[in-house]
Amino acid sequence: MRQSYRTRRIALPPRYREFKPRGVHARKLRNTYLSIDEYEALRLADYVKLEHAEAAKCMNISRPTFTRLVEKARGQIATAIVEGCRLIVRGGNVEFERTIRRCRHCGEEKAVPMVSPESECPDCGSGDVEDLAREDALE
């Protein structure tokens, strides 16, 4: 049984969830997975370049837990790049501070509070708008 742990706080859902080597059929690839908390730890440490102690506070977790997430994320990405795996970002015990609404018609993206009412695309007026945090909840 999985040990229970504190919910990790994530600023925004990841905008891209799958990466694969070019020119290889998906069915021939092995999958590697990056959980959303691992993704967020990597983003804060290596993209935003926060100190681990500060980044851990953003995610509402301890510094050692944060460091473990970063190391796991780096390992998964290294495996994907070196072995040519498909990398899929999903899962994890997470809650989002805000979400991103993406228009399926024109691609416009907008970060909004989690409780925002459904709305049309501000750019093209299409009602076909996906909520990137909601997609997570299903996985």
Tell me how many residues contact Zn ion (CB under 5 A). Answer: 8
Minimum CB distance to Zn ion smaller for 26 or for 124:
124
With CB under 5 A as the contact rule, the residue among 121, 132, 133, 136 that binds Zn ion is 121
Minimum CB distance to Zn ion smaller for 71 or for 109:
109
Containing H/E element for 83?
helix 63-83
Q: How many CB atoms lie within 10 A of CB 115?
A: 7
As a whole number of angstroms, the distance between CA 33 and CA 76 comes to 7
Part of the chain binding Zn ion (CB under 5 A), chosen from 2-10, 25-33, 41-49, 108-116: 108-116
DSSP state letters, 4-22: P-PPEEESS--S--EE--T
Nearest to 137 by CA among 41, 69, 36: 36
As a whole number of angstroms, the distance between CA 61 and CA 48 comes to 17
DSSP code at position 117: P
Minimum CB distance to Zn ion smaller for 77 or for 129:
129
Site map 68..107 versus Zn ion, x via CB under 5 A: -----------------------------------x-xx-
Minimum CB distance to Zn ion smaller for 128 or for 139:
128
| Residues making contact with Zn ion (CB under 5 A) | 103, 105-106, 108, 121, 123-124, 126
